[in-house]
Amino acid sequence: MPDLPPPKSHAVTRAQMERFDLGVPVRGISIPGLKSRSNRLEIALGILFLAVTVSAQAHSEGGEAGGFINGFTHPLLGADHIVAMVAVGLWGAFLGAPAVWLLPVVFPTVMAFGGALGVMGVPLPAIETGIAVSGIVLGLMVLLASRPPIWVAAVLVGIFAIFHGHAHGTELPSSANPMTYSIGFVISTGLLHLSGIALGLLTRFPWGITLVRGCGGVIACVGLGFLLHWF
């Protein structure tokens, strides 16, 4: 039996790289055949440093870009708002069609009306209480897998949307660009809904139902915490 040639190695050696003018392997970059523990450590440290870096603040946030950033980050800076938005998406996904699209359509629209009321200075009582109660109720709806008629769900979500919108409307920074602020604000809110819907789609799996209902319980607890905080 003839001798078989040695198996070809796919690793690129230093000699091959120099012959084909590929340059000398750079420290810290993983090259087949040249792996070492120190290289992996350097890569890990590099990724870690990249992850913890912050953007340069050479330019102030103003004008149209600043307005968009202000509007986009505004809903993301309040945990009570986040849990309510995600709960709307969760509940919509739990209820299935047409609630899965109807609730995310109703909420931003009615929220904008609430925001307009806040901007115009129309007073609304117990705003923070309403926001906290929205987290409790929506979380309980998901936790209990409640399936009311679609119009009841839409009205309930719409009522809570007014409280959220009013709270945000009163907090509009006077320096922000109104147009880009509005767009960023609405997009951010809608993306929170979509996050909830994406999580709610796990209800297709048996374990997903338990997980989603558990998320509803957590949201209700967070809402209760905010309610107790305000009292």
* Listed residue (112, 102, 131) closest to 186, CA to CA: 112
Residues 166/170/175/180 CA torsion (nearest 10 deg): 0
Binding mask 43-82 toward other proteins (x if CB under 8 A, else -) reads -------------------------------xx-xxxxx-
Per-residue contact track with other proteins, 127 to 166, x per CB under 8 A?
Answer: xx--x--------------------------------x-x
Instruction: Compute the distance between CA of residue 182 and CA of residue 106 in angstroms, rounded to an integer.
Output: 17
Radius of gyration of the chain from its Cα atoms, rounded to whole angstroms: 26
Residue 166 vs 215, nearer CB to other proteins: 166
Do the beta carbons of residue 184 and residue 72 sit within 8 Å?
yes
- Site size with other proteins, rule: CB under 8 A: 46
What DSSP string runs through 64-89? Answer: HHHHHHHHHHTGGG-HHHHHHHHHHH
In the complex, the smallest distance separating the C-beta of residue 125 from other proteins, rounded to whole angstroms, is 9
Per-position x/- string for 184-213, each x denoting binding to other proteins as judged by CB under 8 A, each - no binding:
-xxx--x-----------------------
Closest Cα partner for 223 from 97, 82, 114? 82
Query: Under the rule (CB under 8 A), what is the footprint of other proteins?
Result: 74-75, 77-81, 100-101, 104-106, 108-109, 111-113, 115-116, 118-121, 123-124, 127-128, 131, 164, 166-172, 174, 178-179, 181-183, 185-187, 190
